[in-house]
Amino acid sequence: MSPTASALLPILLLSLSNVFMTLAWYGHLTVKAAPLLLVILASWGIAFFEYCLAVPANRIGHAVYSAAQLKTIQEVITLVVFAGFSVVVLKEPLGWNHAAGFTLIATGAAFIFRG
């Protein structure tokens, strides 16, 4: 695998895994009438696919990134995916405080990748 692919593939896989995890964790909020046990089982089933993407992402990514860097990448992706999901699916607007908080988190993430 080329160095570029080794660096980008984990990010792609983590992005896809986060879409599944966001659906598993928050998708049920759009169907509040569904029984809780059914929602738990459905979320668990969706999370299986998240793991099928996250585990290889971390295995492949650890050849290029440290574990701390992989976790940081995953957290930043999680915020981006969640922000989009929140606005598009849950119809919950993001305000200045969200932008400020995400900026602070992104600033912290930048420190993880410093020398």
What is the model's pTM? Answer: 0.88
Q: How many helices (H) and strands (E) does the chain have?
A: 4, 0
Q: What is the pLDDT of residue 86?
A: 95
Q: Is 66 helix (H, G, I), strand (E, B) or coil?
A: coil
What b/e readout covers 59-89, taking b as 16+ CB neighbours within 10 angstroms? ebbeebbeeebbebbbbbbbbebbeebbeee
Better pLDDT: 34 or 1? 34
Tell me the pLDDT tens digit for each residue of 67-92: 999 999 999 999 999 999 999 999 99
Residue 115, pLDDT score: 66
pLDDT tens for residues 25-62? Answer: 999 999 999 999 999 999 999 999 999 999 999 999 99
Q: Could you give the maximum distance between any two Cα atoms of the chain, in Å?
A: 50
For residue 24, which of 55, 57, 50 has the smallest C-alpha distance? 50
Neighbours of 20 (CB within 10 A): 20
